[in-house]
Amino acid sequence: MIERDDLRAAVAAGTITEAQAARLIALSEERQGVRAVMRPSDEPFELFRGLNEIFIVVGLTILTVGWFSVGVVLFEGPGSLATGFVIQAVVGLVIIAALARYFTLKRRMVAPSIALAVLTGLSLLQLGFSLSEMLKFSFQHRFLLTSALCAGGLLVFWGVFRVPFTLALIGAATLAFCFAFSLANGAALMDLPNAFFLSAEGPFALITVVLGLVALAFALAFDLSDPHRVTRRSANGFWLHVVAAPAIVNTVAMTLLVDESLIANTLLLVFLLVIALFAIVIDRRSFLMAGAGYAVALSVIVLEEGSAVVILLLGLGLVILGAKWEAIRGRVLTGLPSFPGKDRLPPWTATVSEG
């Protein structure tokens, strides 16, 4: 049986290329099932494949800094800077598309693809702000145009190159667009933390919850279509869970944390337990981790010195779940009655007993 070390040796000897080796590994894992080649307690997660990808990302970062610096030098001047930045952003997007065609579609590299998605978002930001400056827009309309360009442009990038990480950026841009739309239509954002309380008068808390639920719905659709986590759909679901968890936890946790009553603290504990149970059922540590991490940040901001106990309990809960995840999940799902989609969840019968 050919192992990864054999493929690396073949690449080093020039027998096959790195891209061919990556495709062979991907094909092998698809045929065997990712869960068959991973530890039972693992959740598929990949940011890079080897040091060469990190090397390329460093190169892309330096290239971007140089590209932006050249634009500042070439288009220096109060009258031409905005126009020049628009031209530079458009040209930059074309270059990024060409690079993505090579690194993403041809080489199937992970880290460079993520970097190119981020650079696409930055170029769209540059384009939006520069266009707004040229058109002399107000702050609200600059925010609206820029966020709309980012959301739309990133959606096109994902549609063409299918980089899963792009969905997280699309979620953030969509949230920004909804906020910008509310501001442009007269909503006031006087006090940033208080604007996200469910009891606040503005629409921002409701927008956050709704978008979080929409992201969660799409994430679950991807997950249920790939219960064994062997295709790109699983990675799409992963990044949508990373977006959904903070958005949902945001309004509920902030609203409950600011109220120091026993009822509010009890409701917060129940809410976090429900989030943990849901994450266990769908087998997504990413959902729980993003939500818990955000809850820690919120408790520090809102409760300040009183956040110590909350952080202690959250940390203890995460450690216990991490150590006993598969055993807990097996018992929970075995005890739950049948419900729609249960048969399309990641397998759990083999996880009841720990090895």
CA angle 268/272/273 to nearest 5° reads 115
Selection from 174, 296, 302, 169 nearest residue 242 by Cα: 169
Rounded to an integer, what distance in angstroms lies between the CA atom of residue 329 and that of residue 306?
32
At 148, the pLDDT band (50, 70, 90 cuts) reads very high
Rounded to an integer, what distance in angstroms lies between the CA atom of residue 105 and that of residue 157?
12
Q: Average the pLDDT over 124-152 and give the result.
A: 91
User: How many Cα atoms within 13 Å fall on the side-chain side of residue 232?
Assistant: 11
Of the given ranges (53-57, 156-160, 350-354), which has the lowest mean pLDDT? 350-354
Rounded to an integer, what distance in angstroms lies between the CA atom of residue 246 and that of residue 234?
19
Q: What is the pLDDT of residue 249?
A: 79
Distance of CA 309 to the CA centre of its chain: 28
Q: What is the pLDDT of residue 353?
A: 43
The more confidently predicted of residues 154 and 339 is 154
- Residue 176's contacts (CB-CB under 8 Å, 6 or more residues apart) are 143, 147, 150, 151
Selection from 149, 215, 208, 148 nearest residue 184 by Cα: 148
Question: Does residue 174 carry a pLDDT above 90?
Answer: yes
In the chain, which residue ranges form alpha helices assigned H by DSSP?
4-12, 18-32, 34-37, 51-74, 81-100, 111-134, 139-161, 166-184, 204-224, 232-257, 262-282, 285-303, 308-335
Which amino acid belongs to residue 244?
A: A
The DSSP letter of residue 105 is I
* 255-281 pLDDT per residue, tens: 776 666 778 777 877 887 888 889 889
What are the domain boundaries of the chain? 47-157
Rounded to an integer, what distance in angstroms lies between the CA atom of residue 141 and that of residue 128?
10
341 sits in the region (left: phi over 0; alpha: psi -120 to 50; else beta) called: left
3-class state of residue 315 by DSSP: helix
Which amino acid belongs to residue 122?
A: L
Rounded to an integer, what distance in angstroms lies between the CA atom of residue 198 and that of residue 149?
29
Rounded to an integer, what distance in angstroms lies between the CA atom of residue 120 and that of residue 157?
8
Question: Does residue 350 carry a pLDDT above 60?
Answer: no
Is 159:231 a contact under the CB 8 Å cutoff? Answer: no
- Residue 269's contacts (CB-CB under 8 Å, 6 or more residues apart) are none
Token code pair at residue 308? 């110590």
Is 110:57 a contact under the CB 8 Å cutoff? Answer: no
* 176-235 pLDDT per residue, tens: 998 888 887 766 665 555 666 665 566 777 888 899 999 999 999 998 888 877 778 888
Rounded to an integer, what distance in angstroms lies between the CA atom of residue 170 and that of residue 150?
8
Which amino acid belongs to residue 30?
A: E
* 286-325 pLDDT per residue, tens: 777 766 776 676 667 666 666 787 788 888 888 888 888 8
Is the entire prediction scored with pTM above 0.85? no
Rounded to an integer, what distance in angstroms lies between the CA atom of residue 279 and that of residue 124?
34
Question: Does residue 111 carry a pLDDT above 90?
Answer: yes
Q: Average the pLDDT over 62-78 and give the result.
A: 83
| Distance spanning both ends of the chain, measured CA to CA | 25
Token code pair at residue 283? 């087998």
Question: Does residue 115 carry a pLDDT above 90?
Answer: yes
CB atoms within 10 A of CB 26: 14
Is 351:330 a contact under the CB 8 Å cutoff? Answer: yes
Question: Does residue 352 carry a pLDDT above 60?
Answer: no
> What whole-number percentage of the chain has pLDDT above 70?
80
